[in-house]
Amino acid sequence: MRLNIKIIIALSILVGCACGSAYAQAAYAGPFGFGIELKGTGANASNSGITTLYAFDNGGTTRLLPSGSLAALDQTSWANGSAASPALKLGAFNPGAGDTLTLFGGSMLTYQGGGATVTASHFNYAIGGFVPGIRLLLDETNINGTVGDTRWSCESAGVNLLAGLTNGTYVLQCYGCAGSSVGNLYENNGGGNFKATFTVISTPRLADLRPDYSGTNLATAIISAAANGITATNGFSQAAILPNGSSEPYKSASSEHGSSPVN
């Protein structure tokens, strides 16, 4: 009887050790945070003048922000839209008035264990067709003392997202990808990618017309401005109709000395 008990105990120990060994050797890795860093300027830009890291997957909460970063972390970006198709609204931009929309980079969090390693990280973006991705460099390992948790980031890409765009509403799409010993790891909203929308409104300026500002040119400018929804209150110079019925635009003191009217 004692012999049987010893045999059972021995077998139990062997099985337990085998199971424990198999569990310890199981390799695993994955992403748990992803966001892109943007800065928009202009009266109608969201977070105008503030470099913002927009979090799409925020499983890492504040750990998504790179070490020493001066960017503001927007942790509510995922909720801007719907869970199935989040849509971040970046605002409206008039490049002719000096408005800008710049993509500085992004940040991604990954975990690893059981012998697996994450070796690289990047994200792809598109306004129309996807372009070569922005590489995210190793920023910090074992974040907050959690072994295997790693942050990858880039804040210096400086991509002008308004370059070459005409009037219209555009969709910026992006997704994150990390290479690992267990395969590629994606942050892509279940294959639907993460999305942000913005509008481009290019407007004519009176100063860009002929210096004489003839009645024909002025009328063309006013019609063009009206078609773009531009008024004197949002950046387009307003011309005055003189009391004598002349269609000549109002001339300021500076314009009498050869300068163009203020835009």
Which domains occur in the chain, in start order?
Answer: 28-200 (2.60.40), 206-256 (no CATH)
H-type alpha helices, 111-189: none
First to last CA, the chain: 102
Q: Which tokens belong to 236? A: 């387009």
**For 26-63, how does the pLDDT look when each residue is reduced to its tens digit (9 = 90+)?**
999 999 999 999 999 999 999 999 999 999 988 888 99
SS3 string of 100-117?
EEEEEEEEEEEEEECCCC
Q: Specify the pLDDT at position 129.
A: 84
Alpha-carbon distance 34 to 32, whole Å?
Answer: 7
Q: Specify the pLDDT at position 260.
A: 36
φ/ψ (deg, to 5) at 173: -110, 150
Considering the chain, what is the average pLDDT of its residues?
77
DSSP state of 81: B
Alpha-carbon distance 220 to 230, whole Å?
Answer: 13
| Lowest mean pLDDT across 15-24, 81-90, 99-108, 113-122 | 15-24
pTM: 0.69
Rounded alpha-carbon distances, angstroms, from residue 69 to 2, 52, 107, 145:
67, 10, 11, 20
**For 208-252, how does the pLDDT look when each residue is reduced to its tens digit (9 = 90+)?**
544 444 444 544 544 455 555 544 444 333 333 333 333 343 333
